[in-house]
Structure 1
Amino acid sequence: MTYEELKKSDFDVNLHYSINEVAILALSFDAFGGVDPIVTISKAEPYNYHPRDYRDTVLDLEDWREAVKLAQELAMTPLNERGKATNYDWIKTAKRALHGILGRG
């Protein structure tokens, strides 16, 4: 499985990319409408993924199991076959900062 296939799977996933891992996120019950990681997958170590507690999120048990299954499938894929993961949040932040510096934001 590639990062793109995970993102476009039948299970609607929200992903967050960092330097060493990809996190599958779910809306949390907190008052601010934030998100919490429910599974993290290492981008540096093969076969390394970590399910997390889903009870503080809006996910039910079956959705959490599906997310863990997808994470396991991605983690079992060799690192060089997963494709490239683009951190779109970083790009958006950089664009906002540049527009602020240029006085366009």
Structure 2
Amino acid sequence: MWLAADAAGGGNIIQMIWPFVLMFAVFYFLLIRPQQKKQKQRTSMLNQIKKGDKITTIGGLHGTVVELADDTVVIRVNDTTKMTFERSAVNTIVSAAPTAAVDLEK
């Protein structure tokens, strides 16, 4: 009699867990995985910044990269103004620098 109750209860537990497993799989493929992919692309973009790149910051400021450090980027906004930002404040690279060396310290 106890064996029959345990066997029936075991089936119910699997039936109760199945929807949660299915929901987790849907969340993983619709939310978690795309977010991880987007974060990987952003990290790659931030690592590829180089002198001479024209960038846009998260705040919408446009400028040209003149100096790079591990965590900071110095951009030239106009002929006389240079500003320092965290590397993570870069939103996009508008245009990459030409492959030839560019003298930006004029």
TM bin, normalised by shorter chain, reads: under 0.3
Larger RCO: 1 or 2 (CA < 8 Å, sep 6+): 1
- In terms of fraction of residues, the more helix-rich structure is 2
TM-score (norm 1): 0.25
Q: TM-score, normalised by structure 2?
A: 0.25
Larger radius of gyration, structure 1 or 2? 2
More strand by share: 2
